[in-house]
């Protein structure tokens, strides 16, 4: 199971590190290895959230996520995206941008750093919406019950998450945006840029998430109608014979338009998570190829970890993991918005995310011991009031 799921990641790691050594020597080898670890530590919560979405898809779309999705993640976000940002910001053509990245790495780094306020505003608001929609929803399992119960009651107001996100964007734009960091010791008034970028992040979330929810709900309605037809056909059978479908419809995962928009949602989610990794990588190297190789290796492990969590049913066995990941997303969203005007070390971001997920995992273990639940088996978990750990 482990080798089958992580086999490609192990292979890519071996080839990538060998290539780094051949091209750049021991120094390049070390840089690529460090970037890989940075990406994994920053994106572990990404894998948990991805798993909760990927579990809804059928096998075909899960394979698409692992093939086309990884190409988008590695080459699109880790290599092409920084080039695209520089090209748009500096009004350069593709060839000129690539030439700048290869032959004038300091200027390339400066231009990417100057674009950080808009990148952080887009990614920060997108991630903040994910966290808010999660925390305002009334869920069966509650990790921090003292906080989640009153927030779930407030969440009955459908537009509350949008109002909170817009309020946060307005505060950030008029404070940090007014003196945004555009270099190591440089600031500039980026209020309008932050506002526009944040609104684009919000619109992207609402459009992609809304379309995904629409087609998912439509597919569920079609399944319910088909199940009713099967039930009627079964009753019509003389002697209670089995229908052509065996009278038993099994959930096989979302497909078609619903899965397509979930896939888009996952890619935008991955993009939002990668922003801090790409920007943070410049603290280690400004070579775009070292950066793409190191972050790409890390992205492979995030993809493999996502599939591992789905296949093992980890989120069902450890019910608070998804909570911990979303709290980590909330922390990352706040950190991204704050970094518009204040520098925060990437290590802090990684440590916070890993710590929240580790705490959620331990809370899940304690809960399982309390109710006698054995991971991997659905042996009855009791009601919310009976079994939830009061953390």
| Domain of 166, in residue numbers | 2-387
Comparing 274-283, 290-299, 354-363, the range with the smallest average pLDDT is: 274-283
Supply the pLDDT for residue 75: 73
Contact 117, 359 (CB under 8 A): no
Number of domain units in the chain: 1
Which of 213 and 198 is assigned the larger pLDDT? 198
What distances in angstroms separate CA 336 from CA 28, 119, 127, 176, 233, one per listed residue?
28, 9, 9, 11, 56
- Residue 239 pLDDT more than 70? no
pTM score, whole prediction? 0.75
pLDDT of residue 251: 42
Quote the CA–CA distance of 328 and 310 in Å, as a whole number: 19
pLDDT (0 to 100) of residue 389: 39
Pull the structure tokens for residue 295: 């972050």
Please report which confidence band the pLDDT of residue 18 belongs to, taking 50, 70 and 90 as the band edges: very high
pLDDT of residue 381: 44
The pLDDT assigned to 167 comes to: 95
Q: What is the pLDDT of residue 297?
A: 87
Q: At what angle do helices 94-103 and 81-90 cross, to 10 degrees?
A: 110
Tokens standing for residue 210: 């809304």
- What's the pLDDT at 382? 45
**How does the average pLDDT of the chain come out, rounded?**
79
- Residue 198's pLDDT is 93
- Higher pLDDT: 32 or 65? It is 32
* Residue 248 pLDDT > 60: no
Q: What is the pLDDT of residue 91?
A: 81
Looking at residue 253, what is its pLDDT?
56
**Pair 132, 165: CB distance under 8 Å:** yes
Q: Where are the beta strands (DSSP E) in the chain?
A: 180-181, 187-188
CA–CA gap between residue 277 and residue 47 (Å, rounded)? 15
Q: Kindly state the average pLDDT of the residues 352-368.
A: 88
* Sole residue written with tokens 């190829």: 289
């Amino acid at each position: 199971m482990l080798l089958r799921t992580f086999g490609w990641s192990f292979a890519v790691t071996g080839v990538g590190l060998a290539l780094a050594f051949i091209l750049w020597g021991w120094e390049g080898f070390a840089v690529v290895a460090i970037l890989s670890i940075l990406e994994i530590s920053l994106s572990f919560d990404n894998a948990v959230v991805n798993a909760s979405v990927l579990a809804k898809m059928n096998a075909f779309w899960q394979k698409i996520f692992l093939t086309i999705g990884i190409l988008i993640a590695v080459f699109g976000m880790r290599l092409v995206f920084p080039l695209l940002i520089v090209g748009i910001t500096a009004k350069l053509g593709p060839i000129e941008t690539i030439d700048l990245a290869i032959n004038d790495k300091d200027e390339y780094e400066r231009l990417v750093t100057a674009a950080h306020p808009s990148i952080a505003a887009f990614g920060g608001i997108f991630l903040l919406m994910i966290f808010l929609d999660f925390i305002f929803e009334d869920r069966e399992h509650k990790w921090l019950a003292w906080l989640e119960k009153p927030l779930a009651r407030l969440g009955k107001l459908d537009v509350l998450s949008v109002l909170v996100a817009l309020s946060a964007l307005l505060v950030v734009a008029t404070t940090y945006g007014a003196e945004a960091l555009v270099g190591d010791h440089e600031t500039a008034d980026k209020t309008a840029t932050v506002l526009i970028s944040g609104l684009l992040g919000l619109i992207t979330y609402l459009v992609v998430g809304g379309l995904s929810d629409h087609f998912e709900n439509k597919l569920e309605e079609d399944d319910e109608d088909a199940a009713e037809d099967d039930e009627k056909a079964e009753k019509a059978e003389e002697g209670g014979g089995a229908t052509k479908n065996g009278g038993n419809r099994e959930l096989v995962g979302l497909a078609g338009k619903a899965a397509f928009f979930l896939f888009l949602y996952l890619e935008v989610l991955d993009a939002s998570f990668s922003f801090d990794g790409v920007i943070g990588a410049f603290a280690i190297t400004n070579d775009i190829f070292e950066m793409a190789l190191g972050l790409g290796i890390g992205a492979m492990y995030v993809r493999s970890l996502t599939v591992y969590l789905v296949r093992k049913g980890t989120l069902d066995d450890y019910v608070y993991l998804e909570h911990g990941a979303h709290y980590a997303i909330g922390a990352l969203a706040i950190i991204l918005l704050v970094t518009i005007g204040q520098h925060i070390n990437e290590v802090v971001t990684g440590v916070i995310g890993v710590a929240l997920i580790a705490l959620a995992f331990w809370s899940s273990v304690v809960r399982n011991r309390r109710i006698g639940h054995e991971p991997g088996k659905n042996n009855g978990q009791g009601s919310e009031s009976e079994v939830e750990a009061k953390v």
